[in-house]
């Protein structure tokens, strides 16, 4: 008798603040779960990617969760909404991504008896790198909130870099046995295949959410320094302002830079392999609380040298002198110097690009991240469920 057939179908529910973020950062895990026999549900704020999510065969549940909202009454309604969703859907595993989903989703999961809770903290964000007494008080409050969210025995917390993991473990927010290190979201090595650099005037590109603490201003200032020294290159910004984030660069500022010839603004793009292959150099002079920046992984995968700040997350993919340069946070002169050095040395860029591809292949493939995530799922589901998942994978 095949006892696996008697197992109920496993149900996986993702709670993510934005539909675009699920589509670009967690779709591969959801598709792998679907292939293994999971019924997959996505609860998210629906904007431009709802149709794509449903076309992929996932159940889509629109929610009212907003990243920037701090109205206590509205937040209680959101928590009540999540409790209702979890009661109706009865997931075997909930996978929460980012700070608010981790907190609210964990509380809702405990209150509704969900047996497997996976919390993914994709970096600690601007709130954990801000200064001043208000930021310190907020961090103290957030530690208490996280501690309460991580109390269940069936909680696992995924960190993308070891520094973030140490902060939470050393502060006593989470027990070491409940923390998991999975570095980044992985790269599809076929989609982001190795590509030669373009010819013509060199393109220095920053791609991502256009926030001041992602280093947009530092890159523009470095570009102005290069222009003043008669060094010719194109500074290109790819992405859109983020109205949910108080540190967003305004559209007016972006258009003014473009009119002044300081930087080109290409807007939000979905075809990132094609976009990145038009760059000669990819930079991210961020001071934001990064996990492992996806754009740096993708740029390295297609064979581009990369420059980033020497902070947690960036250090995971940028090996100074091997596949790029690490620079001090906020140091515009160091950024301008690093850009100049690499643009003047195409052979060095080529060596770094080749090495970056090797690093991604060895350490950051999409398949590796999916496998590590499923190992976490299976640990929470238990050995009997584990066998069921493996059976689905073979069918």
User: pLDDT digit of tens for each residue in the chain (395 aa)?
Assistant: 343 444 468 999 999 999 999 999 999 999 999 999 999 999 999 998 999 999 999 999 999 887 666 777 888 999 999 999 999 999 999 999 999 999 999 999 999 999 899 999 987 755 555 566 676 777 788 889 999 999 998 999 999 999 999 989 998 999 999 999 999 999 999 999 999 999 999 999 999 999 999 999 999 999 999 999 989 999 999 999 988 888 999 999 999 999 999 999 999 999 999 999 999 999 999 998 889 999 999 999 999 999 999 999 999 999 999 999 999 999 999 999 999 999 999 999 999 999 999 999 999 999 999 999 999 999 999 844 444 454 343 33
Same domain, 266 and 348: yes
CB 118 within 8 A of CB 380: yes
| CA–CA dist 213, 123 (Å, integer) | 13
Alpha carbon distances (Å) from 189 to 15, 247, 278, 299: 26, 32, 18, 11
Same domain, 124 and 11: yes
Domain membership of residue 245 as a residue range: 203-363
Alpha carbon distances (Å) from 374 to 13, 114, 173, 184, 186: 14, 17, 24, 15, 14
HSE (CB half, 13 Å, CA atoms) of 71? 8
Long-range contact pairs involving 371-377 (C-beta distance under 8 Å, separation at least 24): 372/180, 372/182, 373/29, 373/118, 373/158, 373/182, 374/32, 374/33, 374/36, 376/118, 376/156, 376/158, 376/180, 376/182, 377/12, 377/33, 377/93, 377/116, 377/118
For residue 162, is it within any domain?
yes
| CA–CA dist 305, 283 (Å, integer) | 9
Same domain, 33 and 111: yes
Same domain, 234 and 347: yes
For residue 318, is it within any domain?
yes
Q: What are the residues whose beta carbons fall under 8 Å from the beta carbon of 91, sequence distance 6 or more?
A: 11, 12, 13, 41, 114, 116
> Of 123, 288, 99, which Cα lies nearest the Cα of 206?
288
CATH code of residue 280: 3.40.50.2000
- DSSP summary character for residue 45: E
Q: What are the residues whose beta carbons fall under 8 Å from the beta carbon of 275, sequence distance 6 or more?
A: 205, 207, 238, 266, 269
What is the pTM for the complete model shown?
0.89
Same domain, 63 and 160: yes
């Amino acid at each position: 008798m095949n006892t696996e057939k008697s197992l109920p179908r496993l149900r996986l529910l993702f709670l993510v603040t934005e539909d675009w973020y699920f589509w670009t950062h967690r779709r591969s895990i959801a598709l792998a779960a679907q292939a293994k026999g999971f019924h997959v549900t996505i609860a998210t704020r629906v904007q431009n990617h709802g149709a794509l999510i449903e076309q992929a065969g996932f159940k889509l549940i629109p929610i009212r969760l907003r990243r920037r909202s701090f109205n206590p009454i509205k937040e209680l309604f959101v928590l009540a909404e999540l409790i209702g969703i979890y009661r109706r859907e009865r997931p075997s595993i909930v996978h929460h991504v980012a700070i608010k989903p981790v907190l609210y989703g964990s509380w809702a999961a405990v209150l509704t008896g969900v047996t497997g809770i996976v919390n993914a903290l994709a970096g600690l964000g601007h709130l954990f790198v801000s200064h001043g007494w208000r930021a310190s008080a907020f961090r103290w409050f957030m530690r208490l909130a996280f501690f309460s969210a991580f109390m269940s025995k069936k909680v696992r917390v995924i960190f993308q870099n070891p520094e973030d993991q140490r902060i939470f473990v050393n502060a006593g927010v989470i027990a070491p046995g409940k923390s998991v290190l999975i570095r980044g979201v992985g790269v599809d090595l076929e989609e982001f295949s190795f590509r030669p650099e373009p010819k013509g005037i060199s393109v220095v590109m920053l791609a991502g959410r256009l926030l001041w603490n992602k280093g947009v201003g530092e890159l523009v200032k470095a570009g102005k320094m290069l222009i003043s020294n008669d060094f010719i290159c194109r500074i290109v910004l790819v992405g859109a302002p983020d109205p949910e984030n108080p540190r967003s660069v305004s559209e007016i500022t972006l258009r003014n830079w473009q009119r002044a010839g300081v930087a080109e603004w290409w807007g939000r793009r979905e075809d990132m392999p094609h976009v990145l292959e038009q760059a000669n150099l990819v930079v991210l002079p961020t001071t934001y609380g990064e996990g492992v920046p996806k754009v740096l992984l993708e740029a390295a995968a297609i064979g581009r040298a990369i420059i980033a700040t020497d902070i947690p997350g960036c250090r995971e993919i940028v090996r100074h002198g091997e596949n790029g340069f690490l620079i001090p946070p906020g140091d515009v002169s160091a950024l301008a110097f690093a850009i100049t050095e690499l643009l003047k040395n195409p052979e060095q860029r080529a060596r770094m690009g080749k090495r970056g591809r090797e690093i991604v292949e060895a350490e950051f493939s999409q398949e590796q991240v999916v496998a590590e995530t499923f190992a976490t799922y299976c640990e929470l589901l238990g050995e009997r469920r584990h066998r069921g998942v493996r059976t689905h994978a073979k069918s």
